Structure 1
Amino acid sequence: MSKLADYGTLVMTYLARHPAGVHNAAEIAAATQISLPTVSKILKILAREAILVSHRGMRGGYSLARTPDAITLMEIIDAIEGPIGLTECSSAPGLCEQETSCSVRVNWMKINAAVRQALTGVTLADMAQPTLAVVNTDQLLAHRRAQVNA
């Protein structure tokens, strides 16, 4: 996955966490700490793909086209990158010279389908949920002791 698609999920997660109102590119860039030109590019792509709605005018900006639970990660990634594929032949037929004689093509297609299914199973609402990081306190204490003893 490209950095742009990764940033696209961050932008969309921000919008999912703040669904009320219209948000402009500068606000989103400041909140996500992604450069304004990159955020603007992402917003335009996602609006063109009808995942976001563009609002013109003085208080213009962007809002989600659907509820966060109706937008999947797969849609966001496909909108930004086009159909993903782990190998050339698993995303579009005819791209690889070895395709007709490849002994592992079918397996790569299965793997690619599983990845796409997993990404389709994760919604923007899922991404917007806060998560708690598990902290291994024993490891943390051992690291601190090692620093003190060094």
Structure 2
Amino acid sequence: MIRLTNLADYAVVVMTAAARVPDARLSAARVAEVTSIPVPTVAKLMGTLARGGLLTASRGVAGGFSLARAPGEISVAAIVEAVDGPIALTNCLTGESQDCTMEGHCAVRGHWGPINRAVRDALAAVSLADLLMPVAAVAAVQVEVMA
């Protein structure tokens, strides 16, 4: 099974919570309250997402975090990459394959690039605005596209 890391999954949840109130400044405590993700994890993620250019951080009494762009301009791929780095299904394309015994003679290594791009493109096609739509509405849009 191919899975996102827990942090990437939580980051999508955090960003969706922020997208529900795009003009508000949210604290980590408030986001933790509405998402049931622990405050330290939310605080860490919000800092990471701000460094990734997806959230804007403001200090002071009225400070907090807000979306850096409109929900329709932020993709799930951008969120995952801000937390986990480039989307890659295998370590050989990320430079993390030092212990791969097949590295010198792997017949499929060259095929993983297009597969990774397809997965990334699929995640890039889904925006935060899409995640705000009810599931039934998303299904209806998918049916219209297929017709």
Question: Could you say whether these structures have the same fold, taking a TM-score greater than 0.5 normalized by the shorter chain as the test?
Answer: yes
Question: In the alignment, what sits opposite 1:90?
Answer: 93
Cα RMSD, aligned residues only: 1.8
Whether 2:125 is the aligned partner of 1:121: answer: yes
Aligned residues: 133
| Shift of residue 93, structure 1, vs aligned partner | 8.0
Secondary structure at the aligned position of 1:4 is classed as helix
CA distance in 2, matches of 1:118, 1:35: 29
The answer (yes or no) to whether the contact 1:14–1:128 under 8 Å persists in 2 is no
In the TM superposition, what whole-angstrom CA distance separates every residue of 1:19-78 from its partner, at most 9, and x where no partner exists?
122111111000001000000000000111111000110121100000011111111111
The answer (yes or no) to whether the contact 2:23–2:67 under 8 Å persists in 1 is no
Contiguous gaps of at least 5 residues in structure 2? 138-147
Whether 2:42 is the aligned partner of 1:39: answer: yes
Question: In the alignment, what sits opposite 2:6?
Answer: 3
Question: In the alignment, what sits opposite 1:52?
Answer: 55
Whether 2:18 is the aligned partner of 1:15: answer: yes
TM-score (norm 2): 0.83
CA distance in 1, matches of 2:66, 2:27: 9
- What amino acid does structure 2 have at the position aligned with 1:130? P
* Identical positions, percent: 45
TM-score (norm 1): 0.81
